[in-house]
Amino acid sequence: MSRRRLQLLLPLAAVVLVHAAAAGCRAFQIEEATVDDIQLGFRNGSLTSRRLVLFYLDRIARLNPLLHAVIEVNPDALAQAARADAERRRRRRRSPSARCGGPLHGVPVLLKDNIATRDRLNTTAGSLALLGSVARRDAGVVRRLRRAGAVVLGKANLDEWANFRTIQGTGGWSARGGQGRNPYVLSAAPCGSSTGSAIAAAANMAAATLGTETDGSILCPSSLNSVVGIKPTVGLTSRAGVVPISPRQDTIGPICRTVADAVQVLDAIVGYDSRDAKATRAASKYIPPGGYVQFLKPDGLKGKRIGIPNGFFNFPSGTVQQIVYQQLLDTVRKQGAVVIENLDIANLTVIQDVLNNGQQIVLPAEFKSSLNTYLSDLSYSPVRSLAEIIAFNDAHPIEERLKDFGQLIFLVAENTTGIGALERAIIHQLNKLSADGLEKLMKDEQLDAIITPNDSVSTVLAIGGMPAITVPAGYGKRGVPFGICFGGLKGYEPRLIEMAYTFEQATKVRKPPKFLRGTF
Ligand SMILES: *[C@@H]1O[C@H](CO)[C@@H](O)[C@H](O)[C@H]1NC(C)=O
Ligand SMILES: *[C@@H]1O[C@H](CO)[C@@H](O)[C@H](O)[C@H]1NC(C)=O
Ligand SMILES: *[C@@H]1O[C@H](CO)[C@@H](O)[C@H](O)[C@H]1NC(C)=O
Ligand SMILES: *[C@@H]1O[C@H](CO)[C@@H](O)[C@H](O)[C@H]1NC(C)=O
Ligand SMILES: *[C@@H]1O[C@H](CO)[C@@H](O)[C@H](O)[C@H]1NC(C)=O
């Protein structure tokens, strides 16, 4: 094996260090600050929302040429921050000890570029085809963020079209955002499709971010960029105003540096939305009175039954990951959980064989019909159908890197004609696979969660609309992060949060990235 050499990207590191030193002279250290730190800073007067926004804008300007995490910054972010500061001052004058709004008041949040905003920002899913399109209104989750007082900082890069343009995947690339880079090891895959959200959270380019997932798009980039990602139960968060793939599987969730931060964002974005009525009504029964923050408990693993399904931890013995995961499972046991190994998810190989189990027929059909609905609802758009997007790509082969990536899924999807008898039969079969598979296992074994590495369980969860939380678990030989995933049944967010939070507090794995340039 050739000798591996890791070297610091010196000029960048110097810039970051100088910057950190400058910030350190002041009372408040913004880098690595949590949502709670930020609110404390607001309350004790050592921080303003305006200063936060200035910090992140500066950080984005410095790091984005390297990391390509952000597509656009919001020209109105500073004004929104100033408004939040003024509100806080007004309220403090009236009642000095009062907290202003909720925990996200004045906090800058970055949105994946498939989440629409009705403001000066573009919403393009990374594609040049949607540039200039105008949404009729904010996405449901954005309305809730604004109501919570959050500042919309900008739009994050992604796998173009949330990785549904092409079969080989664009690997963190979009025409508008360029190639996203893993801030831990620049040559390592950043994964996607919520690439920029995870990179930006990891590299302190925003206080918090939102991603979306159809199958792995929050869990994978969160794992590989050493941040916390919550993939909520489908319908817990509104999909209205989000460039869709599959109404059965799409979900919107937070990507943040800590479990507590992610949970506070989750609290702000969950709930019923008349524009995504069926799914959000069905899931609203899962939302606990008093929200999710109450589940950030230090003893959240005590008495929990956690399953380790076969087929996921296939690391050769002696590898860093095998050793680390064994240690982590020991930690889970020490924290009072019962770990049950050697469990089987029925039909696992069928579930994971997305090219053969009917998903390759259903997802393109769902995509075409829901995308065309999204496009027709825009108040202005240069393209109004999938067919027009395909034509746009054909007309811009260089900018859209058609030769490298193609657009095969688009072409397959364009050939579909809606959800007919075949598609309904496949959906029925997928539901049965989920019911006979993880759902049955969890019930039979009375599990609170299963634990798996990275996003490897994502398809199992996706077909059942089930939730998961990924937490930083370690760093491989080259320093590339990996994650550990707590997955469960629909509505299991409270106990997943308890377990993930306790695990995070007991392990404290995450370290800020050092932008290593690996030579391999
Ligand atoms: C205010 O709170 C922040 C966050 O905990 C802390 O870093 C800072 O030192 C505090 N400043 C003052 C003036 O109390
Ligand atoms: C949105 O896209 C237009 C080009 O169509 C560009 O001029 C504008 O600056 C973009 N908005 C932002 C906030 O970057
Ligand atoms: C779409 O349908 C046409 C006509 O049946 C066929 O020639 C073409 O190969 C199909 N394309 C894909 C990508 O399936
Ligand atoms: C999955 O496995 C179970 C038990 O092994 C079997 O009874 C069932 O028919 C399978 N379901 C599907 C949809 O393949
Ligand atoms: C998890 O991610 C790490 C980092 O990319 C990788 O080395 C490892 O093989 C992944 N594990 C699984 C099970 O996918």
- 130-145 pLDDT, tens per residue? 999 999 999 999 999 9
Tally the residues of the chain.
Answer: 520
Percent of the chain whose predicted confidence (pLDDT) is above 70: 93
Cα separations in angstroms, 434 against 347, 441, 466, 484: 9, 10, 10, 22
Shortest-distance Cα residue to atom 14 of ligand 2: 72
Ligand 5 in reach of 476 Cβ (< 6 A): yes
Look at residue 342 and tell me whether its pLDDT is greater than 80: yes
**Closest by Cα among 24, 288, 267, 243 to 135:** 243
178: which strand partners?
Answer: 174
Closest-approaching ligand to the CA atom of 437: 4
Q: Enter the DSSP assignment of 101.
A: S
* Cα–Cα dist 279/125, whole Å: 23
CB atoms within 10 A of CB 432: 12
Ligand 4 in reach of 433 Cβ (< 6 A): yes
pLDDT classification of 98: cutoffs 50, 70, 90: low
Query: What positions carry a catalytic annotation?
Result: 112, 193, 217
* Cα–Cα dist 509/511, whole Å: 7
pLDDT classification of 100: cutoffs 50, 70, 90: low
pLDDT for 477? 77
pTM: 0.94
Q: Which residue has the tokens 């009062």?
A: 98
In a 3-state reduction of DSSP, which class is residue 422?
Answer: helix
- 426-460 pLDDT, tens per residue? 999 999 999 999 999 999 999 999 999 999 999 99
pLDDT classification of 323: cutoffs 50, 70, 90: confident
Look at residue 231 and tell me whether its pLDDT is greater than 50: yes
Domains and CATH numbers, the chain: 35-507 (3.90.1300.10)
- The residue-averaged pLDDT of 219-240 equals 98
- The residue-averaged pLDDT of 146-154 equals 98
- The residue-averaged pLDDT of 488-511 equals 98
pLDDT for 99? 66
Look at residue 1 and tell me whether its pLDDT is greater than 70: no
pLDDT for 320? 82
Backbone angles phi, psi at 111, to 5 degrees: -110, 135
Rounded mean pLDDT of the chain? Answer: 93
Q: Enter the DSSP assignment of 399.
A: T
- 12-26 pLDDT, tens per residue? 443 444 444 444 445
Distance 177 CA to ligand 5 centre (A): 25
- The residue-averaged pLDDT of 326-334 equals 95
